C-alpha cells in the first residue's frame, strides 16, 4: 500500500513528491500519464519565479530539473492515467487506472490542474506562447509600453485588462456582447481607464502573425463587418476547465466538496472535505494560477499528508 499517491506531475505534484519523500514517507508514487512539468512547460520564457534568473529560460528548461530532484529522495513516477479516486469503508483510497488496475493509498494529493478554455479562433493554437497568452501576470511584462488585446467579458478578463493597462500603452478589450458579466465595480473601473478601448459585439476571427509571432487580430462583428487591430500580444480569458474528472464517483457525484465552477474546496492546509485527501495547485478554489503558488500548495499538502499518515497509520 502506498503511503501517499500524488495525482498529477506539474509544479504542485512534483513539490508534493519532494516534500513527502524527503519528509519521511517511504512509498510515494506520482501518477502522471505524460512527462512531468505541467502547463508551464509551454511557456516561452520564465521571468517571475524567485531565483530563476537565467536569461530566456523557457518553461521546459525551467521544469527539467524538478523530477530528478524529487526522485533523488525516493519519489516514483508511474506513467499511468488515473481515471478515478475513491475511498473504501476503512478509509483507504483506491486509485483506479485506465488499464483497469488499482493501487491502494493511505493518503492522496490531487494536483491535476486546469486548462484555460480556448476561444477557437484561427491561429490561436499556432501562436500560443508566441503572442497568444492566457496569463497576464506571466506574460504581460513582455508587452510593457506596447498595445495588446484582451478577449473576454467576465471578471478575470476585466481584471487582467486593468492589470495590463498599468504596463501597456493601450488595451483593446474585445467582447462578443455589449454588456459584461463582471462585478459592477470592476466594470466601472474598466470604463474609467482611459487606455482601455472597448471593442464590443465582436469576436476574434483570426490572430495574425509572422515568423516572429503575433502581429494583430481580426475581429468580426455581429453586423458581419470586420476590423484589424495591430497588436503583438493577445490575451484570452474566457474561463478554465478544471481537470477534476478523477474525483467523479461511479454515481456521478464528487468524492469531496467542490465549488460551482468545479474547483476543489480546500482550507489553508489544502485539506478537502475528505480526511486524508488534499488538493493543490490550479484545481483548488481561489488558486492564483502561478507556478510559485502551485509549488507552495504542494509543499503544504505534503506536510499535511505526512502528519495524516503518521497520526492514522503509525
Catalytic sites, residue numbers: 135, 138-139
CA torsion 103-258-175-39 (nearest 10°) is -30
Q: Which residue has the cell 512527462?
A: 35
Q: Single out the residue of 290, 209, 242 nearest to residue 117, CA to CA.
A: 242
- How many other C-beta atoms are found inside a 10 Å radius of the C-beta of residue 255? 22
Query: Is the distance from CB of 115 to CB of 39 less than 8 angstroms?
Result: yes
**Interacting residues of 12 by C-beta distance below 8 A, sequence separation 6+:** 38, 109, 111, 113, 280, 281, 282, 294, 295, 297, 298, 301
- In angstroms, how far is the first alpha carbon of the chain from the final one? 14
CA atoms in the 13 A half-sphere facing the CB of 9:
27
Query: Is the distance from CB of 238 to CB of 210 less than 8 angstroms?
Result: no
Name beta bridge partners: 209.
214
DSSP 113: -
Amino acid at each position: 500500500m502506498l503511503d501517499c499517491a500524488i495525482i498529477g506531475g506539474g509544479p504542485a505534484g512534483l513539490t508534493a513528491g519532494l516534500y513527502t519523500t524527503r519528509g519521511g514517507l517511504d512509498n510515494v508514487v506520482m501518477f502522471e500519464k505524460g512527462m512531468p512539468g505541467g502547463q508551464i512547460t509551454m511557456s516561452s520564457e520564465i521571468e517571475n519565479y524567485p531565483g530563476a534568473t537565467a536569461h530566456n529560460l523557457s518553461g521546459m528548461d525551467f521544469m527539467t530539473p524538478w523530477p530528478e530532484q524529487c526522485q533523488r529522495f525516493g519519489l516514483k513516477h508511474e506513467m499511468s492515467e488515473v481515471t478515478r479516486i475513491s475511498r473504501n469503508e476503512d478509509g483507504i483510497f483506491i486509485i483506479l487506472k485506465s488499464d483497469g488496475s488499482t493501487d491502494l493509498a493511505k493518503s492522496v494529493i490531487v494536483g491535476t490542474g486546469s486548462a484555460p478554455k480556448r476561444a477557437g479562433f484561427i491561429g490561436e493554437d499556432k501562436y500560443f506562447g508566441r503572442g497568444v497568452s492566457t496569463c497576464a501576470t506571466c506574460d504581460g511584462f513582455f508587452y510593457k509600453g506596447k498595445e495588446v488585446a484582451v478577449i473576454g467579458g467576465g471578471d478575470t478578463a476585466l481584471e487582467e485588462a486593468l492589470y495590463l493597462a498599468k504596463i501597456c500603452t493601450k488595451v483593446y478589450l474585445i467582447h462578443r456582447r455589449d454588456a459584461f458579466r463582471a462585478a459592477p465595480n470592476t466594470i466601472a473601473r474598466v470604463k474609467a481607464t482611459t487606455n482601455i478601448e472597448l471593442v464590443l459585439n465582436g469576436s476574434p476571427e483570426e490572430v495574425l502573425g509572422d515568423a516572429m509571432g503575433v502581429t494583430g487580430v481580426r475581429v468580426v462583428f455581429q453586423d458581419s463587418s470586420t476590423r484589424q487591430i495591430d497588436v503583438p500580444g493577445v490575451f484570452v480569458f474566457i474561463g478554465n476547465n478544471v481537470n477534476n474528472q478523477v474525483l467523479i464517483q461511479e454515481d456521478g457525484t464528487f468524492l469531496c466538496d467542490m465549488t460551482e465552477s468545479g474547483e476543489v474546496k480546500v482550507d489553508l492546509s489544502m485539506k478537502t472535505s475528505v480526511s486524508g485527501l488534499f488538493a493543490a495547485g490550479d484545481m483548488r478554489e481561489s488558486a492564483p494560477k502561478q507556478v510559485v503558488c502551485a509549488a507552495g500548495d504542494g509543499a503544504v499538502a505534503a506536510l499535511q499528508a505526512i502528519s495524516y499518515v503518521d497520526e492514522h497509520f503509525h
